[in-house]
């Protein structure tokens, strides 16, 4: 075990939370051991962010080939090579993983391949992948074990026809007809992926709109796009069963509707991976498996921290990594402010993309807060018109009294990149007049942001 100068941090789970904490802590001279049972980079690199966005990039390119004639181009008929796509995804994950392992190595972080578990308030045991066991003692510990897809008892996942998102990446061929169950961020992203790759897609939506907790105007743009692509929406139906036949699946809904497809994909959230973590042995409180933390990510045992999906806070890689960095600074005795969740940028990688930051109009209305909302459609933006990507809009929300930018929503091509401008404005309490007077490149999609601020 690494025994560095004054204190030792044990990290169980090397995903975005764990690896960001490790690099920040090591940079502060803290001795760090990371225990990881799969790969550092975590579920985010192996199953979630990286593979899904790699697949999405191929889907996006396929989409643009399909619509090339709109730009006056003639293209050859194109097809998808799923095994090659899977190989590409695995290679990208391996590349990123190698980079991260090298970085941790260069910082002298001790990386243990195995499964960790707390045995007391300052001790843990690791079952090493290559056999054997390692007992560890720590001054501080970070629990960052992430989550796994939720599988309800009415679904028998076989990885071939009944899938979670983890099975979506190495299918032998493009599925004929995918029934996606769940219309949150993950569900709609996979609808986009499979539809663009050429599958027929049916989306089972348990509420009255896709992306149930989002601005209805945003959901409307996405629904319009889905319908135009021939995606069938089964609105207001909760899936209650999946029957598997020889050639396909039958999904039954609570209102009696039945949906047939070749494959079913479950995208109904996740559950924390904490059951075998020894929380009870260390006296760490949890709520239904989610580790309870305070504003500084401390658990009920103050020198044991938790971060990322296992806490049930905002389940995003970016949030997990930021929590990890803040924990490392806290342990190092540096000044730390609690993470402001109201200023987190969020993206949905559909086509058009959706991104938002800060206060949303619906949220302001719910709290009876007066806001000024200004909106510009991309149809009025020159760059978007010449790229033939006019679907969507930019909405900027500001305080009518002070002019401070409070939030923004962008639906459109590369919205996940554009939102950075609004995110910076929100983080820095920029006045909307400053945004209006910022000169953007012409023609560019960013001009829509300054115009929306006007």
Ligand X SMILES: Cc1cc2nc3c(=O)[nH]c(=O)nc-3n(C[C@H](O)[C@H](O)[C@H](O)COP(=O)(O)OP(=O)(O)OC[C@H]3O[C@@H](n4cnc5c(N)ncnc54)[C@H](O)[C@@H]3O)c2cc1C
Residues that bind ligand X (CB under 6 A): 12-18, 35-38, 42-44, 48-49, 52-53, 115-116, 144-147, 165, 186, 273, 277, 308-310, 315-318, 320
Strand ranges, E, within 310-420: 346-348, 353-358, 372-377, 393-398, 405-412
> Whose structure tokens read 């149930």?
212
> For residues 53 and 66, which CB has a smaller minimum distance to ligand X in the complex?
53
> For residues 142 and 453, which CB has a smaller minimum distance to ligand X in the complex?
142
> For residues 52 and 450, which CB has a smaller minimum distance to ligand X in the complex?
52
Measured from the CB of residue 107, what is the shortest distance to ligand X in angstroms? 18
> For residues 44 and 221, which CB has a smaller minimum distance to ligand X in the complex?
44
> For residues 20 and 453, which CB has a smaller minimum distance to ligand X in the complex?
20
> For residues 309 and 360, which CB has a smaller minimum distance to ligand X in the complex?
309
| Length of the chain, in residues | 454
Measured from the CB of residue 143, what is the shortest distance to ligand X in angstroms? 9
Q: Which two tokens stand for residue 192?
A: 């986009």
Q: Which of 264, 82, 270, 259 is nearest to 163 (CA)?
A: 264
Cβ contact 185:48 at 8 Å = no
Q: Which two tokens stand for residue 73?
A: 């181009």
Measured from the CB of residue 387, what is the shortest distance to ligand X in angstroms? 23
> For residues 115 and 351, which CB has a smaller minimum distance to ligand X in the complex?
115
Measured from the CB of residue 274, what is the shortest distance to ligand X in angstroms? 8
Q: Which of 98, 352, 362 is nearest to 215 (CA)?
A: 362
CA 80, chain centre distance (Å): 25
Measured from the CB of residue 42, what is the shortest distance to ligand X in angstroms? 3
Question: Which stretches within 47-112 are classed as H helix?
Answer: 49-66, 82-106
Measured from the CB of residue 265, what is the shortest distance to ligand X in angstroms? 10
CA 327, chain centre distance (Å): 21
Inter-CA distances, 408 with 372, 416, 419, 447, Å: 11, 12, 8, 14
Residue 204: partners with Cβ closer than 8 Å, 6 or more residues away: 179, 180, 181, 182, 183, 234, 237, 238, 239, 251, 253, 259
> Tell me, what DSSP letter sits at residue 49?
H
Measured from the CB of residue 275, what is the shortest distance to ligand X in angstroms? 10
> For residues 182 and 381, which CB has a smaller minimum distance to ligand X in the complex?
182
Cα–Cα distance, 223 to 211 (Å, whole number)? 10
Measured from the CB of residue 308, what is the shortest distance to ligand X in angstroms? 2
Measured from the CB of residue 323, what is the shortest distance to ligand X in angstroms? 8
> For residues 53 and 232, which CB has a smaller minimum distance to ligand X in the complex?
53
Measured from the CB of residue 118, what is the shortest distance to ligand X in angstroms? 9
Cβ contact 144:324 at 8 Å = yes
* 246 class by beta-carbon count within 10 Å (0-12 exposed, 13-18 middle, 19+ buried): exposed
Cα–Cα distance, 33 to 257 (Å, whole number)? 52
Any bridge partners for residue 344, and if so which?
A: none
Measured from the CB of residue 192, what is the shortest distance to ligand X in angstroms? 12
> For residues 125 and 396, which CB has a smaller minimum distance to ligand X in the complex?
125
Q: List the strands of the sheet with 8-12, edge to edge.
A: 133-137, 123-128, 110-118, 31-36, 8-12, 140-143, 304-306
> For residues 16 and 412, which CB has a smaller minimum distance to ligand X in the complex?
16
> For residues 312 and 392, which CB has a smaller minimum distance to ligand X in the complex?
312
> Tell me, what DSSP letter sits at residue 295?
T
Pairing between β-strand 263-266 and β-strand 162-164 as defined by DSSP bridges: parallel
Measured from the CB of residue 380, what is the shortest distance to ligand X in angstroms? 29
Cα–Cα distance, 326 to 307 (Å, whole number)? 10
């Amino acid at each position: 075990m690494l025994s560095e100068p004054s204190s030792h941090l044990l990290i169980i789970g090397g995903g975005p939370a764990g690896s960001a904490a490790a690099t920040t802590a090591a940079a502060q001279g803290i001795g760090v051991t990371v225990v990881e049972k799969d790969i550092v980079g975590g579920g985010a690199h192996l199953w979630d962010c990286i593979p899904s966005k790699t697949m999405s990039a191929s889907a996006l390119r396929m989409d643009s080939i399909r619509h090339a004639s709109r730009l006056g181009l003639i293209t050859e008929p194109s097809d998808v090579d799923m095994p090659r796509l899977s190989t590409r995804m695995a290679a990208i994950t391996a590349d990123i993983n190698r980079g991260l392992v090298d970085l941790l190595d260069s910082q002298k972080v001790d990386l243990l391949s195995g499964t960790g578990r707390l045995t007391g308030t300052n001790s843990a045991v690791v079952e090493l992948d290559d056999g054997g066991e390692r007992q560890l003692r720590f001054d501080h510990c970070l629990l960052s074990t992430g989550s796994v897809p939720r599988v309800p008892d009415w679904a028998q996942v076989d990885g071939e026809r009944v899938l979670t998102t983890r099975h979506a990446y190495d299918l032998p061929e493009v599925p004929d007809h995918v029934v996606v169950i769940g219309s949150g961020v993950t569900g709609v992203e996979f609808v986009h992926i499979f539809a663009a790759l050429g599958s027929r897609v049916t989306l089972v939506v348990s509420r009255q709109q896709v992306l149930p907790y989002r601005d209805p105007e945003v959901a409307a743009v996405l629904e319009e796009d889905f319908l135009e692509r021939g995606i069938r929406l089964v609105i207001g139906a909760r899936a209650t069963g999946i029957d598997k036949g020889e050639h396909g699946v039958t999904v039954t809904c609570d209102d009696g509707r039945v949906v047939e497809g070749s494959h079913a994909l479950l995208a109904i959230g996740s559950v924390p991976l904490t059951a075998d973590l020894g929380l009870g042995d260390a006296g760490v409180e949890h709520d239904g498996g989610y580790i309870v933390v305070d504003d500084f990510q401390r658990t009920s045992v103050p020198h044991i921290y938790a971060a990322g999906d296992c806490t049930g806070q905002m389940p995003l890689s970016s949030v997990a990594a930021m929590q990890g960095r803040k924990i490392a600074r806290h342990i190092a005795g540096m000044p730390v402010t609690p993470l402001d969740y109201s200023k987190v940028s969020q993206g949905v990688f559909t086509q058009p993309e959706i991104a938002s930051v800060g206060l949303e109009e619906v949220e302001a209305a719910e709290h009876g807060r007066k806001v000024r909302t200004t909106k510009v459609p991309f149809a009025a933006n020159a760059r978007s018109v010449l790229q033939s990507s006019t679907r969507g809009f930019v909405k900027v929300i500001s305080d009518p009294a002070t002019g401070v930018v409070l939030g923004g929503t962008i639906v459109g091509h590369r919205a996940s990149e554009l939102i950075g401008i609004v995110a910076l404005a929100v983080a820095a309490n920029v006045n909307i007049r400053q945004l209006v007077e910022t000169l953007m490149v012409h023609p560019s999609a960013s001009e829509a942001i300054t115009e929306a601020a006007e």
